[in-house]
Structure 1
Amino acid sequence: MGILNLTPDSFSDGGKFNSEKSALEHAEKLLKDGAEIIDIGPQSTRPNAEFLSSKEEIERIGSMISRIKKEFPQALISLDTFYAETVKFGFNEGIDIINDISGGQYDHKMFETAAETKLPYILMHVNPSYETMHDKVKFEDISLQVNRYFSKKTTELLEKGVKDIILDPGFGFGKTVEDQMKMIGETGYLGFGKFPLLIGISRKSFIYKPLGKSPLDINEETQKLHLTVLEQGARILRVHDVAETAEILRQFLRKK
C-alpha cells in the first residue's frame, strides 16, 4: 500500500502532492514501483495537525479518486478518513477500501456506512477520541490490550454486516517506543490470525527518534522491521518508500 497524502501538513511529505498534477504523477510512480493499493489521505493525523471537517476533506479530494481510477484502472484505492460522509463520497467516486484510523470512534455512523458500501474496512487501534489520539498510554500488556480492542470492534463490525475486515495495530498513535517495539516482536499474536494484518510503520517516530535520525533517513531500519513483521504473517505494508519495500517483499517470497 503506497501512501498518497493530499495534505499540506503531513509530517514527512506535506505539500508535495496536494495539486492534481503532482498527485497523479506520484500515484503513477507508486504503481510503477510496485504498489497494488494507493492510500489517499486528505487529512494529516500527525500530532498538532490542522483539523478538517468532512466537507473540507471532500473539497480537498475533488476529482482525484475518479481521475486515478480512470488513469490506472488496475489500482486499488483506499481512502484514509474517519468520516462516514467522506466514505460515502469516496464510494461514489470508486474507492475499493475504507481506511479508518479511528475504529469508528470519531464518527458513530462509520460502521453503519461501511456496511452499506460492502467495502473492505481497515480497523485501527487508537485512543478513543480525536483529542487524545496521540496521548501516550503505557499499557500493562500492549498486545493483549490491542487484541481486546480488536475482539470488541470486529464483533461490532460483523454484527453491523461488515464482512471484510483488515486489522491495523496503530503504530505511531498513542503508544510508547517500548510498546511499539514489543508489538513488532509480537505481530504474530495480533488479531488471532482471523483477519489480515496491515502494518504501517513507514517514517514513524518510534524508529527514527531513538536513533537521532530524521523520518527520511531510516529506510534501512524500516525494511528490516518490515521483514520481521512479514515473517510473522503481516499481509499489507503501508509505506512511503514503495520500491525499497517491494524489494524486501521479493526477498521474503523467495525464502518461502
Structure 2
Amino acid sequence: MLSNSETFQPSNSKTLQPFHSLNCNGRLVELDTPKIMGILNLTPDSFSDGGKFNSEKSALEHAEKLLKDGSEIIDIGPQSTRPNAEFLSSKEEIDRIGNMISLIKKEFPEALISLDTFYAETVKFGFNEGIDMINDISGGQYDDKMFDAAGETKLPYILMHVNPSYETMHDKVKFEDITLEVNRYFSKKTNELLEKGVRDITLDPGFGFGKTVEDQMKMIGETEYLGFGKFPLLIGISRKSFIYKPLGKSPMDINEETQKLHWKVLEQGAKILRVHDVAEAAVTIRQFCEKNKKC
C-alpha cells in the first residue's frame, strides 16, 4: 500500500492538464474546455426541484432552457436519491421516463443525454432511446448487472464514490483520509470497468453522499489528486447541504458560494460541472478560461 507521501506527489496541475475526451455514440466530445451537465429531474420528490419538470411540456421547456443557458449535457433523473426518497424499481423508472429521451433527442439533436440510474435494465432502455452516457451514483453496487450493461452498450460511464448499499447511501462515514479512500475505490472500480470493456470513464467523488462536511471540503481542496489525472473528473456540488447548512441558508441561496467552489475545482482540473443553475456556472467557466487561458 502506498504511503501518503508516495500517493500524493503533485503533478504540477497548474501547468500540466491531462487531455480527455469522451466517445458518445461515435460523437467525440473533447474536454479541453470544461462542460456543463444540466440537471433535469423527472421526479416529484427531488430535494430542490421535485415536481417541476415531470410532465412532457415542462421537461422539454426546461431542457431548452438548460441548453440555451450553456449546458451541453442534460442529465435525466427518473428517481430521487435524496435522503428518505421514494425507492423505485427499474420498471417504475422506465415508466416515468416514458418517451422523454427520444422527445428531447428529436427536439434538440445537438444535446448529449446522460441517464441518471443505478439499474442495468434502465440503462438498456435508455440506450435504445438514444442516451449518450450513463450516470450511475452506485458505482455498480446496487445492481450487479450494471457494469455488464455499460460494457455491452459501450457508453461513457460516470463512476461515483458512494457507500456500498442503497440503505446506507447517506450514512455519514468519517474516513481516516477521504482522498485516499476515494482513490482506492476509484482504482478498484475502474479496473473492473476496464475488464468489462468500458473505455470512457468519468470519476465523480460523490459530494452529498455519506460524507461529513469536513471531508467534503477536504475533497474540494484536494480535487487535483482525485483519480491521479487518469480519468476526467465530474463535480456535483449544486445545492448540496454541506454548503448551505453550515451557512444557515437554503439550497436556493448559495449560488455565490457554489461558484467560488466551482472555480477551485476548475483550477484543479475538473472537466464537468453537474449543476441546476446552468447560466451561473457558464459564467464561471467563461471567466475561468479567460483568466487562466487554459481553455
Q: Indicate which of 112, 117, 130 corresponds to 1:94.
A: 130
Q: CA deviation at 1:203?
A: 0.1
Distance 2:277 2:136 in 1: 22
Report the equivalent of 2:272: 236
Q: CA deviation at 1:148?
A: 0.1
Q: Indicate which of 92, 106, 109 corresponds to 1:56.
A: 92
**Identity within the alignment, %:** 90
Task: Note the alpha carbon deviations across 1:210-246, whole angstroms, 9 max, x for none.
Answer: 0000000000000000000000000000000000000
Q: How does 1:62-73 map to 2 (within 5 A)?
A: 62-73=98-109
Q: Indicate which of 281, 285, 291 corresponds to 1:249.
A: 285
Report the equivalent of 1:112: 148
Distance 1:11 1:247 in 2: 25
Tell me, what secondary structure is at the counterpart of 1:178?
helix
Report the equivalent of 1:227: 263
In the alignment, structure 1 residue 192 sits paired with structure 2 residue 228? yes
Report the equivalent of 2:18: none
| Gap regions ≥5 residues in structure 2 | 1-36
Distance 2:255 2:58 in 1: 23
Q: Indicate which of 132, 148, 160 corresponds to 2:196.
A: 160
Counterpart of 2:254 in structure 1: which amino acid?
Answer: I
Q: CA deviation at 1:162?
A: 0.5
Counterpart of 2:289 in structure 1: which amino acid?
Answer: L
Distance 1:112 1:16 in 2: 33
Task: Note the alpha carbon deviations across 1:155-184, whole angstroms, 9 max, x for none.
Answer: 000011101100000000000000000000
Higher-Rg structure is 2
Q: CA deviation at 1:109?
A: 0.3
Distance 1:19 1:67 in 2: 12
Report the equivalent of 2:246: 210
Distance 1:249 1:75 in 2: 19
Q: CA RMSD in A?
A: 0.3
Structure 1: 4+ residue segments shifted above 6 A: none
Task: Note the alpha carbon deviations across 1:174-221, whole angstroms, 9 max, x for none.
Answer: 000000000000000000100000000000000000000000000000
Q: CA deviation at 1:122?
A: 0.2
How many residues of Structure 1 are paired with residues of Structure 2 in the alignment? 256
**Bigger RCO of structures 1 and 2 (CA < 8 A, at least 6 apart):** 2
Report the equivalent of 2:120: 84
Counterpart of 1:82 in structure 2: which amino acid?
Answer: F
In the alignment, structure 1 residue 5 sits paired with structure 2 residue 37? no
Q: CA deviation at 1:252?
A: 0.6
Distance 1:163 1:249 in 2: 27
Q: CA deviation at 1:55?
A: 0.2
Q: How does 1:114-129 map to 2 (within 5 A)?
A: 114-129=150-165
Q: Indicate which of 65, 74, 83 corresponds to 1:47.
A: 83
Tell me, what secondary structure is at the counterpart of 1:174?
coil
Distance 2:107 2:290 in 1: 32
Distance 1:156 1:116 in 2: 14
Counterpart of 1:218 in structure 2: which amino acid?
Answer: I
Report the equivalent of 2:72: 36
Q: CA deviation at 1:149?
A: 0.0
Distance 2:57 2:234 in 1: 29
Q: CA deviation at 1:18?
A: 0.4
Q: CA deviation at 1:150?
A: 0.1
Distance 2:222 2:268 in 1: 8
